[in-house]
């Protein structure tokens, strides 16, 4: 059963209707339902969230949504949680080898940033750029900005504008002389923010925060259990960073520009979700003699 969110009560129904149009008698189609109720309605949830009906609850959303489900867990019913995540890019100083390299990497970072107009958890929001030269950082930001406005398979050239509170905060920070440099305008085609530290708000709607670091190792301190995907350039530096990133809580490291590529059945959010969605039963066929053979008696 799919509980549809108030933000999108249509997509699941459309998917199920399409499946039914293709093969209405398929067991998967016959066993699926899509319903809506206001999240947190105890009269409904206390009745439905029981192990005699379901053995798994798969939840995606913010802290309140996840915590609301947790109170219904108990023996026989488990939670598979997709918590809020953020993703980043780590770009080494090698990017400045040539203008062509800057342009190529900027395109790859933009591709990772614009996945579903930055609504996806795997979409890059922060770019840690290995340089202490602000002129170099500006050069990269200038190359990145126009690529955020490109039309893409999984992102539009013009996205919805960032929320008003984010726009106001950016304008205030810039006006106060906090050394925040803003590239672009709030026109839906993307904005690049250059600063020495990550901004405290959650960049969205094609807002990319480029952060200067002396070394990519310095960027690891900004990684935690909420960091999902990390795109790295140059690719040869992935193995050097991998252990530290895993220790900090990161869940995926990839080549920059490939964040939206997936391996079916692979790990996601530090787990194998497809394996957790099903109930596993072992069907053993072990020979009794092998399993219960008596141990030899020690003799003196």
Residue 18 domain-assigned (yes or no) = yes
Which of 83, 109, 141 finishes a domain? 83
The 8-class DSSP code of residue 258 comes to -
Q: pLDDT by residue (tens digit) across 20-67?
A: 999 999 999 999 999 999 888 999 999 999 999 999 999 987 788 888
Residue 295 domain-assigned (yes or no) = no
Whether 240 and 159 share a structural domain? yes
More confident residue, 284 or 197: 197
Residue 54 domain-assigned (yes or no) = yes
Q: pLDDT by residue (tens digit) across 92-138?
A: 999 999 999 999 999 999 999 999 999 999 999 999 999 999 999 99
Which domain covers residue 117, as residue numbers? Answer: 86-255
> Number of structural domains, the chain?
2
Whether 142 and 236 share a structural domain? yes
Which of 23, 51, 83 finishes a domain? 83
* Predicted structure pTM score: 0.87
d(CA 247, CA 138): 32
Whether 122 and 226 share a structural domain? yes
d(CA 47, CA 50): 7
Whether 249 and 107 share a structural domain? yes
Residue 293 domain-assigned (yes or no) = no
Q: Average pLDDT, stretch 278-298?
A: 75
Whether 205 and 114 share a structural domain? yes
pLDDT at 208 over 70: yes
Whether 69 and 203 share a structural domain? no
Q: pLDDT by residue (tens digit) across 180-197?
A: 999 999 999 999 999 999
Burial of 146 from C-beta contacts in 10 A (0-12 / 13-18 / 19+): middle
Whether 204 and 64 share a structural domain? no
Which pair of tokens denotes residue 82? 């997709």
The 8-class DSSP code of residue 221 comes to G
Which of 50, 83, 116 finishes a domain? 83
Peptide bond preceding 138: is omega within 30 degrees of 0, i.e. cis?
A: no
């Amino acid at each position: 059963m799919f509980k549809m969110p108030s933000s999108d009560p249509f997509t699941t129904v459309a998917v199920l209707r399409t499946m039914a149009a293709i093969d209405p008698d398929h067991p998967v189609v016959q066993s699926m339902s899509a319903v809506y109720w206001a999240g947190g309605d105890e009269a409904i949830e206390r009745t439905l969230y029981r192990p005699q009906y379901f053995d798994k609850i798969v939840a995606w959303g913010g802290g309140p949504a996840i915590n609301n489900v947790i109170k219904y867990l108990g023996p026989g019913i488990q939670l598979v949680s997709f918590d809020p995540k953020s993703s980043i890019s780590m770009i080494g100083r090698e990017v400045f080898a040539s203008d062509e390299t800057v342009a190529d990497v900027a395109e790859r970072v933009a591709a990772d940033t614009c996945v579903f107009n930055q609504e996806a958890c795997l979409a890059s929001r922060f770019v840690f750029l290995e340089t202490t030269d602000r002129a170099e950082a500006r050069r990269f930001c200038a190359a990145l900005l126009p690529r955020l406005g490109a039309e893409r398979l999984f992102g539009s050239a013009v996205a919805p504008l960032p929320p008003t509170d984010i726009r106001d905060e950016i304008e205030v920070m810039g006006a106060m002389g906090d050394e925040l440099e803003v590239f672009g305008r709030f026109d839906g085609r993307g904005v690049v923010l250059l600063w020495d530290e990550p901004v405290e708000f959650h960049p969205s709607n094609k807002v990319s925060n480029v952060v200067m670091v002396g070394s990519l190792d310095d960027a690891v301190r900004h990684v935690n259990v909420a960091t999902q995907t990390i795109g790295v350039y140059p690719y040869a530096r992935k193995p050097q960073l991998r252990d530290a990133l895993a220790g900090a809580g990161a869940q995926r490291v990839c080549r920059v520009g490939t964040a939206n590529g997936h391996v079916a059945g692979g790990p996601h959010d530090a787990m194998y979700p497809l394996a957790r969605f099903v109930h596993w039963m072992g069907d053993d066929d072990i020979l009794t003699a092998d399993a219960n053979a008596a141990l030899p008696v020690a003799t003196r």
